[in-house]
Structure 1
Amino acid sequence: MIAIKSAQRLPRGLNVEWTDGMRAKFSNVWLRDNSLHMRPALIHLDLNPCPQILTKPWRIQKRPCSVDQRHIGAMIWKEPLVINGTVWPHLEKIPSVVTVETRFDGARVSLVDSVAALKRLHEEHSAYFRFMMENPIEYEHAFFKASHHLANVDRNEIVSAVFNNDFRSSQMTTDNLDLFYRSLKSFYNICCEMQQEIYINSDELLVVDNSQLLIGAPAQWGREMRVRIFA
């Protein structure tokens, strides 16, 4: 096993560098490597060995034997690309939790910390952020339609986010389309830079906070994942 050179705490995980120069970010102190390099996970560090103490808007847990029947809906993601987004933004009340399970090992899922992305948008493009706060986005699907702001702010703190380009309505809530699309493009670029990719296996369940994360999946041959939505 290659020795560790350094380990640095992150707000929601750990950054590890090995003596051969390879680096990886881990989602918790159990060191489940979500990078493409898949370094050994059984690494002992002098850290708090309780990953539940870390505040992060997603987790991978053992898949239960029975299905939780409290979900309000479900869908299947197969091989095509699924663009990162809030799940079911066309509802007036956004579902709070999303779970993902797969039939086959090594299913790829992409995640974006939308709250952190919005904080960057506010810091780097404050005019765009203010514009989006003043102009909600319309979403629609089938017979459902809803309007949501990109960010929800409480006492000057961004607490949650809503965005899904696939469900965005053609109906605009602003006449300044140029500024609207430039604002969305800046937010999209930040999301691309912050996107992380994880893998889940058939015996695992991914649990996601739908108000804090944009979730999607890169195109992957042979993939079949079931996504369940909870109120």
Structure 2
Amino acid sequence: MAMRQASETEPRQKALQRRRMPRQQRARHTVEAIFEATEQLAATHGFDAVNTRMIAERAGVGIGSLYQYFPTYEAILLAWYERVSTMAAQQVRLSTIEAMDRTPADAVRFAIRGLLDIYRQHRLALIDMPHQVPQIGQVIRHTSLEVLNRGTIRLYLSQHPEFDATRTERHVFFLETIVHALLRRYAREEPEFLDADDVVEGIGALILSYLAAQTGAESREGPAGHG
């Protein structure tokens, strides 16, 4: 059964991989033109209506040149997502450094506000694409922004000895889910009855309540309560 699963997933993994990385300036310009064309077409027509021939035509490159770098449309989307994710991760790093001198409550709200700004700025790539293209949604946990966000949570927990280190991954799961599920939904829908301040305060309150509850529970249980 394991061999069968591997044989089924391998073609899908290859379909999402680049054929080669652009090294020369001209090649980088070609890839950049492909990303820009993809973004423009997806914004106008939706992801389902776009294909590689449309992208090549809009980018002004031959279809053969496009296939030199990307074997499939999905490979273009994943590479574009990773590019945007990497830029967003750099913004998160800067925000994390700036938040170090803040109180825990201020740091949580500051971090949430920063992530919300990133999601709104790059909504098409970071919000709409994973929601509309299942193949991308299945692999984004391994991209730069998601990895950094989980690392930031682990770093915060490691600096607070009141949290049981053996439960770190459980805390990361809950905190990441609370923050990103709510932020992505708000960025995608932006309901009239909520504004950005409401969202930041609401998610911040959930996070702080969770952290306070976990600190209290772990101090009451002590070492014997593990498991």
- TM-score, normalized by length of structure 2? 0.22
- TM-score, normalized by length of structure 1? 0.22
Higher-Rg structure is 2
